[in-house]
Structure 1
Amino acid sequence: MTTTTAPALLVLEDGRTFRGRAYGAAGETFGEAVFATGMTGYQETLTDPSYHRQVVVMTAPHIGNTGVNDEDPESRRIWVAGYVVRDPARTPSNWRSRRSLDEELAAQGVVGISGVDTRALTRHLRERGAMRAGIFSGEALARPGDEASLLARVLAAPPMTGAHLAPEVATTEPYVIPADGERRFTVAAIDLGIKGMTPRRMAERGIEVHVLPATATLEQIYATGPDGVFLSNGPGDPAAADHPVAVTRGVLDRGTPLFGICFGNQILGRALGFGTFKLKYGHRGINQPVKDLTTGKVEVTAHNHGFAVDAPLDAASDTPFGRVAVSHVCLNDNVVEGLRLLDRPAFSVQYHPEAAAGPHDAAYLFDRFVSLMEGERA
């Protein structure tokens, strides 16, 4: 265990502060403070590239109980900018655990804080909205009474609005995830911050996945000979991601089956001509209710997004690529959670059907993608 009793301080951009103890690495870090409501799956949250440049507040009070293993990371590293917990586990206990969570945070240089009243902090973020924050501990923690200088440093950090972050987390070189068993289809996956579980869910269905950098051109996409194109999840403001939008329009022009998840849903929305906007505090967790408007079914789903598509819920919209309908909606706040093209083989959802560590209510969406590719092949 590396947890210490050294003091630490969380400073929000509106001036509110929370005191606690250093957790993970000592030092300083800056990012957008957001809260995640999942009671499990903290390792998948930490390694999700969509959390790049965010200080994640865990609403579940006990974190680290199952330690850290080498099987569940969603990417090659921890991406969160900072980590805020209430009661870290004193001793992890799980048959797959290899080390404690705070040891992993320290090894990867992630600055965290524990002992924080995360209930009060979450209520504050719900009322005031997600905002910039800084965590300070060790030598980075200024002398008592010098919080004004720390606040100034928080205010100097860049906001999430306008941030183009996908190239910072995406692969720089293409790679291939082979199909499990016989290859039935080939998919070109644009890595905007892809999670490791996503190509595995496709591989399970006989899909060979060619993962391409966020900067991939239309020519590079079609050089893979794709039966379908996939737009991944990822961090940042979709309004700043012009290149993926242009590429998506090229895919739609060719009529290739297309599926997008999370950030990919926002990119598709922009490609169709819809706007996007920043949510007050976003959806993050593995317990969000979503209604599939095509079936009437309500699913419990995993979310991680701070932006959303601005599209009408009550009627199909005419776009340069035909009619488009909202296919899914969040039952908590009526935010658009999915788009479906009525005249072309393309759809997207705002949440995560690959859902590590769960739930798996929406796994059928990968089968829907397969059906689109089967239809085009027929």
Structure 2
Amino acid sequence: MRDRKAPETAYLVLEDGTVFKGHAIGVKGTTTGEICFNTGMTGYQEIFTDPSYFGQILVSTNVHIGNYGCKESDNESDSVKIAGFVCRNFSDHYSRNLGDNSIQEYFEDNNLTGISNIDTRALVKRIRTEGAMNAIISSEILDIDELKSMVKEVPSMAGLELASKVGTKEEYYLGDENSDIKVAVLDYGVKRSILTCLAERGCYLKIFPGNVSYEQVMEWGPDGIFVSNGPGDPAAMGYAIEVVKKVINNDIPSFGICLGHQLFALAVDVPTYKMHHGHRGINHPVRNEKSGLGEITSQNHGFGVNPEAINANLDKIEITHINLNDQTIEGIRIKGKKAFSVQYHPEASPGPHDSRYLFDEFITEINQNKN
């Protein structure tokens, strides 16, 4: 463990002018992004490395962060993806014997700036009331007026195309190359645990960069296509919408998660919208409309599919899952096509495994199409 220093001052300034003073954590610096909060009680490292959080400052509603340290195998991507971090109590002491290092060391290694020792309850209430907004954290600039001026220059998440910044740049493979099931993954920021869930079910995966064309994907001869999660505004991803539209129109077994779900909707002319403050946590209740059963789900999204447009197109879209907190659309199936998607994260890393059956349904869909 590296030597601890006396805490230095840091400030968090919101776009609406709200100011919080606290302790600097991670590396000394300044960072900006859209502020959001996650209600999960555990799994902070998986959240830090989820590419869907790219460009966002994350607030943890759990009071204690860092008490079980960090471990390389818990990463969901090759590096930390959040833009900054905010918490109440930040612990550089950890009790897990299998831990590789403390969270402070982890942040230093990943060049992440954050702030602790602030009233996160008041902050989260502010976000819930006023909605998602931009923010700035700084432990090097302590002039509040300057920080207020800087945060006004941060671009809105609405309209930002970010998936191309976090997805793979080169094709690669995963799984058993002798498998009878070949799945093409369109990588807009895919989590490692999603790939693991597919590979564990016998799929041989080829992961493609997000800017790949439909024709390039089909040259490989996949039996199914998976459309991944990722950051940013899905409506700004015209290149991806066109590929997904061809996948659906050609009736290839396909499955989308999170951003993939939004791209499925856009591909059938259902618009998306920027949510007031989004869904981020590991205890969101969802009802399966076919079985009537409830599922506790892991979620991370700030955009949703337009429910009015979905309900106006029930001749071509089936609603498969509904959020029981606010009745937003959590899952759809394209009628007459082998395409379905969910807004939440069935791989659930972190979170409950109630929804992992969806991967089995995808494999069943592929096998039925092959026979």
* Fold in common (TM above 0.5): yes
Instruction: Give the 4+ runs in structure 1 shifted more than 6 A.
Output: none
Alignment of 1:210-225 (within 5 A): 210-225=206-221
Q: Give 1:289 deviation, angstroms.
A: 0.5
Alignment of 1:269-308 (within 5 A): 269-308=265-304
By how many angstroms is 1:326 displaced? 1.5
Which of these residues, 205, 216, 236, is aligned with residue 232 of structure 2? 236
Structure 1: distance between partners of 2:127 and 2:96: 33
How far apart are 1:45 and its partner, in Å? 0.2
The code of the aligned residue for 2:367 comes to E
Aligned: 1:364 with 2:357: yes
Cα deviation, residue 52, structure 1: 0.3
Question: The residue matched to 1:44 in structure 2 has which SS?
Answer: helix
Matches within 5 A, 1:123-134: 123-134=125-136
Match of 2:78 in 1: 76
**Counterpart Cα distance in 1 of 2:76 and 2:87:** 21
Q: Deviations over 1:145-173 (max 9, x none)?
A: x3122111001011101000000001000
**Cα distance change, pair 14–274 in 1 and its aligned pair in 2 (3 A):** same
The total of aligned residue pairs comes to 369
TM-score between the two structures when normalised by the length of structure 1 = 0.95
Tell me the distance in 2 between the aligned counterparts of 1:355 and 1:90.
26
Which residue number corresponds to residue 141 of structure 1? 141
Deviation at 1:3, TM superposition (A): 6.3
Q: Structure 1 vs Structure 2: percent identity of aligned residues?
A: 42
Q: Counterpart of 2:192?
A: 196
1:341 pairs with 2:338:
no
Match of 1:183 in 2: 179
Comparing 66-75 with 90-99, greater Cα deviation is found at: 90-99
Quick check: 1:10–1:18 contact (8 Å CA) kept in 2?
yes
Q: Note the 1:314-329 alignment, pairs <5 A.
A: 317=313, 323-329=316-322
SS of the equivalent of 1:34 reads strand
Alignment of 1:91-130 (within 5 A): 91-130=93-132
Q: Does residue 1:254 correspond to 2:267, yes or no?
A: no
Counterpart AA for 1:276: T
For 1:350 and 1:108, how far apart are their aligned partners in 2?
29
Q: Structure 1 residues 146-155 or 45-54, which shifts more?
A: 146-155
* Aligned counterpart, 2:155: 158
Matched, 1:168 2:165: yes
Per-residue CA deviations over 1:260-299 (Å, capped at 9, x if unaligned) read 0000000000001101001100000111111111111110
SS in 2 for 1:328: strand
Task: Give how far 1:90 is off.
Answer: 4.2
Distance (Å, rounded) in 1 between the aligned partners of 2:6 and 2:303: 36
Aligned-partner Cα distance in 2 for 1:4–1:241: 45
Can you give the 5+ residue segments of structure 2 that lack an aligned partner in the other structure?
none
- Corresponding residue number in structure 2 for 1:354: 347
Q: Normalized against structure 2, the TM-score is what?
A: 0.97
Q: Which runs of 5+ in 1 are unaligned?
A: none
Equivalents in 2 of 1:183, 1:371: separation in Å?
Answer: 15
Q: CA, structure 1 residues 315+236, in 2 after alignment: closer, same or farther (shift >3 Å)?
A: closer
After superposition, what is the alpha-carbon deviation per residue over 1:58-86, rounded to whole angstroms, capped at 9, x for unaligned? 00000011101011100000000000010
Distance 1:329-1:88 versus aligned 2 partners, 3 A rule: same
Q: Distance in 1 between matches of 2:326 and 2:6?
A: 40
Give me the whole-angstrom Cα distance separating, in 2, the residues matched to 1:357 and 1:176: 24
